[in-house]
Structure 1
Amino acid sequence: MKTLSLITLLLLTSHNLLSQEKNFIDHPYIETTANSDTLVVPDNIYITIVLNESDSKNKKSTEELETTLEQTLKKLNINTQKDLSLLDYSSDFKKYFLKGQNILKSKNYSLLVHDAVIAGKVLAALENVGISNVEIAKTEYSKAEELVENLKSSAILKAKKYANKLANPIGQKVGKAIFISDTSSTPFNLQGQVAGIQIRGAASIYGNRATEPILIDFQKLKFETQVTVRFTLE
């Protein structure tokens, strides 16, 4: 009985959908597709910093390296409480147990900065204090969601403009939209990637312990949306 009821419900639903589609097709309409895109400079730059006792040839503990790291970043007016976070903590117990050596500890940090200039200053400053296990992990645009919504609105307006251009030569006007489809690909496909980085200065990087500024150029992030809209013809 339940199976029969389910089949009946599916048949009714299919019939309603077909009726709606037929009613829709019966209306004279015009369909256009439009794109809207832009390039933006990333304003969230994540830098991974690894503090490892072995990097300093065991001359400094991770605690000492942490103090040096925090002091160096504060000199650059970076809010370490807000923008510096600990990713993980590890110790090489295997070496300790097998060789009887001191435990070699390491800590991984993530630092958030908001422009390429500060990122370059961080790389140079940390290298100067002996912290060189540093890399740019990913980039993002903080207002990506708002940007994408604005691009979709722009694409819809373009779609209507195209529709009017097509309808005018035949003496017709574009009416209300009766169907809108967002056919965009993933708008955040470049978020998180760091392709296209160019580093200049500091003998790229750090030949002869160079002290000149490090200039970093980030590839701009491209955001693109696409919509398909059907308008009635009057």
Structure 2
Amino acid sequence: MKSMTHTAALLIAFVTFNVSAQEQKPIPQINVSGEGKVKVVPDQAMISVSVDTKGNKAADVKKQNDETVERVIQAIKKHKLPKENVQTQRISLNPVYDYEKKKYSYNATQTIEILLKDLNQYDALMESLVDAGINRISNVEFRSSKIEQHKSEARKQAMLEAKKKADDYVSVLGQKVGKALTISDNTQVYYPQPMYEMKAMAMGGSDVAPRETLAVGEISVTANVSVSFILE
């Protein structure tokens, strides 16, 4: 009786082992990557400008900086930009020690970010800001108002390229590409910077033709994926 029980247990263990071995059998697959790229003419820009003021007395430096920023904000209002598209980003007042003169001076900075949704206003806006007193352009970032739509198209192109790669690889093997096992999104968020020229902003009179100082060009919206396909 014990012998039969022992034999049955061994048989069950053997069957279980075979089932487990079959379940762990590697699935034939191919791993490929794909990239999708959509060229877009930007229709927006995020502009970051600053007013830097230096002096020997903290109170005077802060006051002068505030007065300049007030003129800058008034200049922005003249272009009738929506309030929600203009934001003070950073305010600072820092002591700076001069080791040679052995005394402190002060540096006040205020940074304003402007979302410009009409690039045709760029030159006129920048001239107004410089005339009002901004003395540093921190950043100009091109954007598209339809960025999500372009990202979706880029992702689809990336998947199509990955599938085509897989088809090319297995076409000489007499096999077919089956369902996707895994899909990994390797896309990195990146907004290209524009090439722009900051010229002397002296207006020289109202009859002067508007200058073009910004080469808009195109931005690339890119998506990258890694895909594992089953081989049939």
| Distance change in 2, residues 1:45/1:21 (3 Å) | farther
SS in 1 for 2:26: helix
Residue aligning to 1:151:
154
| Distance change in 2, residues 1:22/1:145 (3 Å) | farther
| Distance change in 2, residues 1:31/1:77 (3 Å) | same
Which blocks of at least 5 consecutive residues in structure 1 are unaligned?
Answer: 1-18
Count of equivalent residues? 197
| Distance change in 2, residues 1:179/1:139 (3 Å) | same
1:45 to 2:39 alignment: no
Tell me the alpha carbon deviations over residues 116-154 of structure 1, each in whole angstroms, 9 at most, x when there is no partner.
Answer: 43332221112334x241314141536656644542332
Residue aligning to 1:23:
25
SS in 2 for 1:52: strand
TM-superposed CA distance for 1:75, in Å, is: 1.4
Larger radius of gyration: 2
Tell me the alpha carbon deviations over residues 177-231 of structure 1, each in whole angstroms, 9 at most, x when there is no partner.
Answer: 123344x3x522x43x63x5232xxxx5116655543431246443433323232
| Distance change in 2, residues 1:61/1:231 (3 Å) | closer
Residue aligning to 1:7:
none
Report 1:113-128 matches (<5 A): 113-128=116-131
**Rounded Cα–Cα distance in structure 2 between residues aligned with 1:217 and 1:20:** 62
Residue aligning to 1:224:
222
Matched-pair contact (CA < 8 Å) for 2:178–2:230: yes
Residue aligning to 2:14:
none
Report 1:1-234 matches (<5 A): 23-25=25-27, 27=28, 29-42=29-42, 43-50=44-51, 52=53, 61-80=64-83, 82-90=85-93, 107-129=110-132, 131-139=133-141, 141=143, 147-148=150-151, 150-167=153-170, 172-182=175-185, 184=186, 187-188=188-189, 190-191=190-191, 194=193, 196-199=194-197, 205-206=199-200, 209-210=203-204, 212-218=210-216, 220-234=218-232
Residue aligning to 1:4:
none
| Distance change in 2, residues 1:22/1:134 (3 Å) | same
TM-superposed CA distance for 1:37, in Å, is: 1.6
SS in 2 for 1:23: coil
Matched-pair contact (CA < 8 Å) for 1:44–1:113: yes
TM-score normalised according to structure 1 size = 0.61
Which range moved further: 84-93 or 115-124?
Answer: 84-93
Matched-pair contact (CA < 8 Å) for 1:89–1:108: no
**Rounded Cα–Cα distance in structure 2 between residues aligned with 1:179 and 1:116:** 41
TM-superposed CA distance for 1:76, in Å, is: 0.9
Tell me the alpha carbon deviations over residues 38-91 of structure 1, each in whole angstroms, 9 at most, x when there is no partner.
Answer: 33345342221316387xxx9x94444333222211111123454131510427
Name the structure with the higher strand share.
Answer: 2
TM-score normalised according to structure 2 size = 0.61
Tell me the alpha carbon deviations over residues 77-106 of structure 1, each in whole angstroms, 9 at most, x when there is no partner.
Answer: 1234541315104276989xx79x9x9865
Matched-pair contact (CA < 8 Å) for 1:35–1:226: yes
SS in 2 for 1:175: strand
TM-superposed CA distance for 1:109, in Å, is: 2.7
Amino acid at match of 2:200: Y
Runs of 4+ aligned structure 1 residues displaced above 6 Å come to 91-95
Matched-pair contact (CA < 8 Å) for 2:196–2:215: yes
Name the structure with the higher helix share.
Answer: 1
